[in-house]
Amino acid sequence: VSTPEQVTGFRSPRVLDRVEAGDARGFDCLGPSPEPASLRVVCWGTRGSISSPGPETVAFGGNTACVEVRTSTGRSIILDGGTGIRRLGAELTRREGPLEVELFLTHFHWDHIQGIPFFAPIHDPRARICVHAPPETGRSVEELFAGQMSRTYFPLPYEALAGSLHFFPVGTGVWALDELAISAFRVCHPGYTVGYEIEFRGLRVVYIPDNELAGDGSSFDDEWYARLVEFVAGADLLIHDAMYTEAEYERRRGWGHSTAAQAVALAASAGVKRLLLFHHDPDRTDEEIQAIVCAAGRELVGSGIELEVEGAAEGRELVVLAPDPA
């Protein structure tokens, strides 16, 4: 069984693995320097469709979509509430300070919400939880959110949740909190589904877990793709749907997901620095994901495209750093 460490093998000057922002400054004998800006990205769940724990998914993980992004100033947001959010919730309740949660959902398919009933802050009277999500026609974000906790599906009454919940429909504007700015882009996926861009002091992470790119341009219009490239352009880190192999895609055209090659093509044309292949098929073993990542990397050799590609692995932490002023 491979480990996440074996799967990496790149080091970018701007994106370092498991490096504290402070450590990257190096020598401090010249006196204190201002804290460099950073975005810390933790994958709590990387799987698509349904959780898939087991000996074949140890390295990349079996929990469904959930990613945490934390700024060097201590602000934190959560992207999606798949089963990976359960462990994150347990950690949040142990952290010091007020229990304030900003949760951004891309859409309401099970694999993006199923961990929420077991997310400890919703049961914690200290918690204030803001849920941002695209609404559906005729249904509010709260209705969509509470549906999976109705009495048929969940034992506790929704009204009895101890945390205070607040709901915000995601639109086309920019949501800002201190120096953090988040904007959404409607993607090609059944229902009203978005991807998010997170920007902090010039550092940019783009999260698009479910999206059908269809490299031949047959299942979307070129104008949409051009706007998507613009949305993603120059991101320090792109986390993108790469659910299918090329052979699988031929049988699943129109299902709302992409291949690794399609994700690489988007990242390359948008000048992205680093791509995390995400939303792994539940049947995909660690070895198969590693093979997909290696094949994507081989395609880039000699292309002149400066893009690092790897597979999103549960528990993995990446730090996006501002470039060294020197």
Contact footprint for Zn ion (CB under 5 A): 48, 109, 111, 210
Q: Which is nearer to Zn ion, 21 or 228 (CB)?
A: 228
The helices-and-strands tally (H runs, E runs) of the chain is: 7, 15
Sequence-ordered strand ranges (E) for 157-236: 164-169, 174-177, 180-186, 194-200, 203-208
Q: Scan for tokens 């990349």, then name that residue.
A: 60
Q: Give the CA radius of gyration of the chain.
A: 19
* Minimum distance, C-beta of residue 122 to Zn ion, in the bound complex (Å): 21
Q: Which is nearer to Zn ion, 47 or 316 (CB)?
A: 47
Q: Scan for tokens 């229990």, then name that residue.
A: 99
Sequence-ordered list of residues with C-beta below 8 angstroms from that of 154, at least 6 positions apart, any chain: 117, 148
* Minimum distance, C-beta of residue 212 to Zn ion, in the bound complex (Å): 10
Please report, to the nearest 10 degrees, the dihedral formed by the alpha carbons of residues 210, 315, 19, 322 taken in order: 20
Q: Which is nearer to Zn ion, 81 or 117 (CB)?
A: 81
- Backbone torsion region of residue 192, taken as left when φ is above 0, otherwise alpha when ψ lies between -120 and 50, otherwise beta: beta
Q: Which is nearer to Zn ion, 115 or 161 (CB)?
A: 115
Report the 10 Å Cβ neighbour count for 17.
Answer: 15
Q: Which is nearer to Zn ion, 45 or 48 (CB)?
A: 48
Q: How far apart are CA 230 and CA 157, in angstroms?
A: 44
* Minimum distance, C-beta of residue 109 to Zn ion, in the bound complex (Å): 3
Q: How far apart are CA 50 and CA 52, in angstroms?
A: 6
Q: Which is nearer to Zn ion, 38 or 57 (CB)?
A: 57
* Minimum distance, C-beta of residue 93 to Zn ion, in the bound complex (Å): 26
* Minimum distance, C-beta of residue 102 to Zn ion, in the bound complex (Å): 20
* Minimum distance, C-beta of residue 234 to Zn ion, in the bound complex (Å): 26
* Minimum distance, C-beta of residue 242 to Zn ion, in the bound complex (Å): 12
Q: How far apart are CA 225 and CA 221, in angstroms?
A: 7
Specify the pairing of strand 100-104 against strand 76-79: parallel
Q: Which is nearer to Zn ion, 43 or 127 (CB)?
A: 43
